[in-house]
Amino acid sequence: MHCANCALTIEKRLKKIKGVDNAEVSLASEKALVTFDPSLVPLEILEKAIKEVGYEVVYESVILRVSGLSDATDAKAVEERLSSLEGVKQVSADHVLGKVFIEYNPALLSLADLERTLESLRITVLSEEFSQAFEEKEALRLKRLSILGLVATVPIILYSQHKLLSFLPLAGTTISAYLLLALASTVQFGVGYRFYQGAFRAAKMRTANMDTLVAMGTTAAYLLSIRYTFPYPNWKYIYYDSSAAVISFVLLGKYFEAKMKGKTSSVIKRLLELRPKRARVLKEGKEVEVPVDAIEVGDIIVVRPGERIPTDGLVVDGHSAVDESMVTGESMPVEKSPGDEVIGGTVNKEGVLKVKATKIGSETFLAQVVKLVEEAMGRKPEIQRLVDRIAGVFTFIVIGVAGLTLLSWILIGADPSTALINAVSVLVVACPCALGLATPTAISVGMGKGAEYGILIKNSEALELASKLDYLIFDKTGTLTEGTPRVVEWVYLPLKSPIARDGSSDPKLIELAAVAEKNSEHPLARAIVEKAIELGLKPEDPDEFISIPGKGVGAKYMGKDLLVGSIRLMRDKGVKLNGAEKVAEDMMLKGRTVVAVALDNEVIGLIGMMDSPKPYAKEVIEALKEMGIVVVMITGDNKRTAKAIANLLGIDEVFAEVLPGEKASKISELQEKGHLVGMVGDGVNDAPALTQADVGFAIGSGTDVAIESGDIILIRDDLRDVVAAIQLSKRTVKQVMQNLAWAFGYNTILIPLAAFGKLYP
């Protein structure tokens, strides 16, 4: 909202809704106080009404680090519970990273409400500072329990094979059976207590998970074994080795899973570790060492060679080369001198720099990158949501198959012990965790890899969709081209004159045009003046100067009239053209922007300028074509100029003479034909088009990643990163599919084998 009229517009719209008694909108606080009957007006209706008049309801997002999410089933239960709260817009729980991403309306519920809801589900919310230490302690705890479990399980397995290993002391005796019970009890309850905790927590959430299967299966085998241990052991039905081995090996798997989770989030940790803990700040002319968190905007920081720059800032003194590879992916050190920006966390390689802090805390580039990566990891792609739904019912299917197995074996005449063991085999061989881990691990690793190379993926849907794009639209100016015109040729007129034949070697035309354009700020004028300086000329000031908006400039110089501008301007002023129109047309066919120069009411020459293609532009276009992607260039330039640039780069399709506001509609037209469309452009100027595209690539964003509209942010102004982002997407999706194939294949093959008695626990 920008004014009182905005607030009034929202008020009027809300009051029209049946069931709304009153609505008051405050411009100062940017809040709407609405009195309504919730039985008549759902909250969604109010939000929709606000959007209809062109405004958005503000939601806050938070990422909570948690413990207690065993698998995808738990994550799904948490999502369902939190989503049921009024005011929650979106929830995504990630059991791999141990995080819950929540988007909510702070006017309807608080962060404390969300935390209390999680606590009621026996999910512990960890503080930011404590979370990393907790993860490390959890991995260490799992390691110790796994070792204890294996140490106890090995003798259980050995003594269970007493017929083969009869040389063992007390093998096959009653005493050995009692000793096995003692060791199995240690494993069942001392090591395996976590599975009972997880199963109980799942039951509390009215669901079932991997812990439920392990707890049910091993408890059944353990109790059956006790039944046949007393008063004298019946070794045929004693399966202490099965229950102990399942607990120990599943726990070992959880340990490896915890280690894998650590690697998955290691990129974020590495980024956070880039920021030094302390910095030297100039206070009254003296260097004072302070914690980085104590730095304030405006402080002057001294950075010596080999040290990391503590925060984003501006060099005010000194010259050096800075290694930005860990932040932007730029392999070569970047030269820095007074006036240049530096990024917190990068390494000063050579000289001493004095840096004025411009951003601190959550506003720094590193903090923005970490926030974007974490939020992206928190938003699940559609394929992961589908897999999570399958995993959510998978456990119940397995329990059903186990029950059916038990009943079937009894019906065909097997003794109850054999039937029970086959049912237990079904329970312990099933692995819903494999399904739940298949997608998030691959996607998190893919996003992390991208962040290392300056490719920030803002949501996982974009990572998935980028692999399927069949159309990719590039904005021309500043994306495919440098964005600044430069003089590439000039010719004198009329062409039959002696000077016209050797025109390009005579700079007089450029000098005269530069005199006329010297006081103009137009990009074409700047290009002419820069060319004159490049040629060693020193354009003088004109005696008189007049700007003709949209057409050119006029000037008086040494008693002569100068006119510099478009052919249309020359025609409007009645200037003698000397064949300028035909020559200009030939130049435009080569992609030139043409400026005519007239002296005393007669065109004496034409200057051709061009916005040159960026390095690697042609190679990038070729690489995209090889991927089967149709490349399109979109520009506001006339068709001839646009076609010339497109031919130069090998682009077959061009949308020319498109106004900035029409770019999004061009993308929409392609989408309506069933195409998946990507857009590459400037994250600010091309915001509507980037938002309309299925995947928006904001290129050359530098350190202002927070304001970008793209789904994928390319920090460097390097077109090759577009190809790298799509390749990363394809590799990640391929890895997801492979993981899912293994997960589904494992369960599809082994569960039937267990049910038919071909596998024993």
* Residues marked as catalytic: 475
Of 611, 634, 653, which marks where a domain is finished? 611
- Output the 3-class SS for 119-178: HHCCCEEECHHHHHHHHHHHHHHHHHHHHHHHHHHHHHHHHHCCCCCCCCCCCCCHHHHH
Residue 89 domain flag: yes
334, 297, 301: which is closest to 319 by C-alpha? 334
pLDDT level of residue 496 (50, 70, 90 thresholds)? low
What pLDDT digit, counting tens, does each position of 602-632 carry? Answer: 999 999 988 888 889 999 999 999 999 999 9
Cα(125)–Cα(67) distance, rounded to whole angstroms?
A: 7
Residue 110 domain flag: yes
Same domain, 74 and 154: no
Same domain, 91 and 190: no
Which one is predicted more confidently, 751 or 270?
A: 751
CATH of the domain at 325: 2.70.150.10
pLDDT level of residue 503 (50, 70, 90 thresholds)? very low
Instruction: Check pLDDT > 50 for residue 287.
Output: yes
Cα(355)–Cα(343) distance, rounded to whole angstroms?
A: 10
Same domain, 201 and 164: yes
Question: Of the segments 141-145, 413-417, 586-590, which one has the largest average pLDDT value?
Answer: 141-145
pLDDT level of residue 500 (50, 70, 90 thresholds)? very low
Model-level pTM?
0.65
Same domain, 587 and 493: yes
Instruction: Check pLDDT > 50 for residue 498.
Output: no
pLDDT level of residue 32 (50, 70, 90 thresholds)? confident
Average pLDDT over residues 263-277: 66
What pLDDT digit, counting tens, does each position of 736-749 carry? Answer: 888 888 888 888 89
Q: 3-state class of 308 per DSSP?
A: strand
Cα(318)–Cα(563) distance, rounded to whole angstroms?
A: 46
What pLDDT digit, counting tens, does each position of 673-691 carry? Answer: 999 999 998 755 677 788 7
Contacts of 347 (CB under 8 A, 6+ apart): 306, 307, 308, 309, 322, 323
Give the pLDDT of residue 432: 62
What residue numbers bound the domain in which 537 lies? 483-611
Instruction: Check pLDDT > 90 for residue 563.
Output: yes
Q: How many CB atoms lie within 10 A of CB 603?
A: 24
**Total count of domains within the chain:** 6
Give the pLDDT of residue 377: 60
What pLDDT digit, counting tens, does each position of 304-319 carry? Answer: 988 889 999 999 999 9
Out of 23-27, 66-70, 511-515, 719-723, pick the least confident.
23-27
514, 638, 530: which is closest to 584 by C-alpha? 638
Out of 75-79, 132-136, 278-282, 718-722, pick the least confident.
132-136
What pLDDT digit, counting tens, does each position of 129-181 carry? Answer: 555 666 677 778 888 999 999 999 999 989 888 777 878 888 888 899 999 99
pLDDT level of residue 499 (50, 70, 90 thresholds)? very low
pLDDT level of residue 202 (50, 70, 90 thresholds)? confident
Question: Quick check: 282 and 302 in contact, CB under 8 A?
Answer: yes
Of 590, 611, 632, which marks where a domain is finished? 611
Residue 368 domain flag: no
Same domain, 111 and 258: no
CATH of the domain at 589: 3.40.1110.10
pLDDT level of residue 414 (50, 70, 90 thresholds)? confident
Average pLDDT over residues 20-39: 77
Instruction: Please give the structure tokens belonging to residue 74.
Output: 């738990």
Question: Quick check: 633 and 614 in contact, CB under 8 A?
Answer: no
Give the pLDDT of residue 326: 63
Residue 600 domain flag: yes
Instruction: Check pLDDT > 80 for residue 707.
Output: no
Residue 237 domain flag: yes
What pLDDT digit, counting tens, does each position of 470-494 carry? Answer: 999 998 888 888 878 889 889 988 7
Same domain, 99 and 227: no
Cα(626)–Cα(633) distance, rounded to whole angstroms?
A: 17
> What DSSP line would sit under 25-44, residue for residue?
EETTTTEEEEEE-TTTS-HH
Q: How many CB atoms lie within 10 A of CB 257?
A: 18
Give the pLDDT of residue 29: 62
CATH of the domain at 68: 3.30.70.100
Give the pLDDT of residue 473: 95
Give the pLDDT of residue 14: 84
**Residue 334 pairs with which residues in a beta bridge?**
322
Mark 42-65 as b/e (b = at least 16 C-beta within 10 Å). Answer: eeebbeebbeeeebeeebeeebbb
Of 611, 641, 657, which marks where a domain is finished? 611
Give the pLDDT of residue 663: 85
Same domain, 503 and 607: yes
Same domain, 475 and 620: yes
Same domain, 72 and 20: no
Same domain, 142 and 243: yes
> What DSSP line would sit under 265-281, residue for residue?
THHHHHHHHHS-SEEEE
Instruction: Check pLDDT > 80 for residue 467.
Output: yes
182, 192, 179, 180: which is closest to 246 by C-alpha? 192
Give the pLDDT of residue 659: 75
pLDDT level of residue 62 (50, 70, 90 thresholds)? confident
Give the pLDDT of residue 23: 83
Give the pLDDT of residue 706: 45
Residue 736 domain flag: no
Out of 619-628, 687-696, 718-727, pick the least confident.
687-696
Residue 573 domain flag: yes
Contacts of 204 (CB under 8 A, 6+ apart): 121, 122
Our CA angle for 558, 564, 569, nearest 5°, is: 130
% the chain with pLDDT above 90: 24
Out of 97-101, 487-491, 652-656, pick the least confident.
97-101
Residue 731 domain flag: no
What is the overall mean pLDDT for the chain?
83
Cα(755)–Cα(428) distance, rounded to whole angstroms?
A: 11
Out of 12-21, 326-335, 570-579, pick the least confident.
326-335
Question: 720-755 and 617-626 helices cross at what angle (nearest 10)?
Answer: 30
Cα(160)–Cα(635) distance, rounded to whole angstroms?
A: 77
Cα(276)–Cα(270) distance, rounded to whole angstroms?
A: 12
What pLDDT digit, counting tens, does each position of 509-531 carry? Answer: 999 999 999 888 888 899 999 99
Same domain, 126 and 232: no
Cα(307)–Cα(320) distance, rounded to whole angstroms?
A: 12
Which one is predicted more confidently, 415 or 470?
A: 470
Instruction: Check pLDDT > 80 for residue 459.
Output: no
Question: Quick check: 250 and 431 in contact, CB under 8 A?
Answer: no
Same domain, 506 and 436: no
